[in-house]
Structure formats: structure tokens, C-alpha cells
Amino acid sequence: MAVRIHFTDDDLAQVRLAQAPDPMWEALLSMHMLQTDTGSAVFGGWRRRVRRELPTAVGPLLRMAPPVGYSADFRTPAAGTGGLDAGIGALLSTPRQRLRGDLVELSRAGRRLPPWARSLADGDKKAVGHLARVFRAYFTTALAPWWGRVRTRFGAERAVHGRYLAGR
């Protein structure tokens, strides 16, 4: 069944287009793609290279980002729109209740969490710091070499959507 959403003119007037790609969201979406074989013509080379070069410590991070179903929301803070450092800064200051709630939801979805997830759910600063370092290592390997292309593609899409909205 398809879902149709109808926007009024007032709704459309409130639409804002992001100024730049959000590295936290791009990382999460790339983790989803890394764990599938879909889109091999476009992503096959990227997957092979990233899988070969990804540090072992990043493996548990991928288990927390299943390609289908729930992913922990604390990994995509709104501050990510300010860049990778802002997103990781927000990740480091995630309230314990948010960490715990998202990790409980993820475990209910049947995901095997890494051993340090319990400490993370307790808001342990060392575990949160570990998550931030692993997240940065993932970004450095999986996205940083292609970030210029991501920004270029984002800019092209933003321009198309901007022209569409301006014509409404």
C-alpha cells in the first residue's frame, strides 16, 4: 500500500533544504549499504575497498546499524548538519536515558550488541568515547576519501530540489 502525503502551500513554505550533507546520516546510510549487496554496479568497488581497509574495531559499530529495521537514533544527532566534529560532539554528549532507550530498542529488534554496549547504555564516558573514536575511524575509511563526491552530488540534488520548490 502506498502512502500519500499532501502538503498545503503553508507546509511547502516551511520546507528548508539542508546546506550540506550530514556526515552522521551519510555514515549510517553507508553502513547499511556496506552490509548488503544491493547496487553492486554503483557500490561494488566502494564496498570491496572499504571492507578490505576497515579497522577491525569498527565491526561492532556495524552490528549496531542493521541494513533493515531499527538503527539507534542517537547516532544521527541533529548537530551533524554542522559537520563531523559537531556530530561527534553531540554524540559524546548524548544523555544516558537516550543511549539506554535506543540500545534497548535495538536489542529488542534482535541485534547482537557489542560487549561494551552495556557500559554505553549506562552512559559510561569511556564507552561513549570509544564509540566516538570508532565512528570517526569508520568515517575516515568509508566516507572521507569520497566526501568531495558526496558533496558534489548533494549540491546537484539540492539545486534540482530548489528549482522545483521555487516553481511551485
Compute the radius of gyration of the chain from its Cα atoms: 18
Work out the mean pLDDT of the chain and round it to a whole number.
91
Band (126; pLDDT cuts 50, 70, 90): very high
- Evaluate if pTM is beyond 0.75: yes
Tens-place pLDDT, residues 47-76? 999 999 999 999 989 988 989 888 888 999
- How many Cβ atoms sit within 10 Å of the Cβ of residue 138? 24
